[in-house]
Structure 1
Amino acid sequence: MSKPSVVMLDINMPRMNGLELLDALRSDPEFVGLNVFIMTTSDLETDRLKARDLAVSGYIIKPLNFDKFGEGGSTVDGFSLFLDLLRLKD
């Protein structure tokens, strides 16, 4: 079975939140380098810092805000990177 090249997680999931799942993935050597994006409504600094510590490829805050498109670190930029990685897989 092939492993995914990109995963998108939400922080607010039942039973285990997305950051807990990501922590479990990162502890498995097979998934250490997996591209993982967080897409969430949480703009809490603690969530963003935990995601950064777990080496996320992007942290996308819903809903996407096109007002800041092109400014460094915008959620649209993170989403664009996610889409680029999906295209590379094909």
Structure 2
Amino acid sequence: MSAVNQYQQVTILLVDDDDVDYMAVQRAMQQLRLLNPIVRARDGIEALSILTSVDGIKGPYLILLDLNMPRMNGFEFLEQIRADPALTSAVVFMLTTSSTDEDRMQAYSHHVAGYMVKTKMKDGFNHIFNMLEGYWRIVELPSA
């Protein structure tokens, strides 16, 4: 099998406090038959703990990050990982209910790979995961 055809095992780190969104992500991945591991953190503090743990995520990963969360919100989390040399190259997609220009511009100033508004998704999370699957099949992601 050539390297082009090999499936890259990419872990999804979902940083979101909303249980309904977490279940929707799981359902979309099942419907699309995606076998990627999914790890959930309910806020930025928990996500940082997962990423910096000795037993943390291994291999390439993508972060799906909500903006509004308790304890540490998405922007505070982005500031932390962009300041950490070990985490600065993490690939982050914002997945939020906020459609304000200010939030979108602030997210891109923290070098997110994409900004997706949950309320604008007509097909739920399936469309996002179709896009992400194509992304991680083509793009060379940094290893953990």
Q: 1:38 aligns with which of 75, 78, 94?
A: 94
Spell out structure 1 runs of 4+ moving beyond 4 A.
86-89
Give 1 or 2 for the bigger CA radius of gyration: 2
SS, match of residue 36 in structure 1 = strand
5+ residue gaps, structure 1: 67-75
Aligned mates of 1:84, 1:47 — CA distance in 2 = 26
**Does structure 1 residue 48 correspond to structure 2 residue 104?**
yes
Aligned mates of 1:30, 1:11 — CA distance in 2 = 22
CA RMSD across the alignment: 2.3
Determine what percentage of the aligned residue pairs are the same residue. 36
Shift of 1:4: 4.9
Q: Could you tell me the TM-score, scaled by structure 1's length?
A: 0.71
SS, match of residue 7 in structure 1 = strand
Aligned mates of 1:57, 1:41 — CA distance in 2 = 17
Aligned mates of 1:58, 1:65 — CA distance in 2 = 17
5+ residue gaps, structure 2: 1-53
Q: 1:24 aligns with which of 53, 77, 80?
A: 80
Match of 1:15 in 2: 71
Aligned mates of 1:51, 1:24 — CA distance in 2 = 13
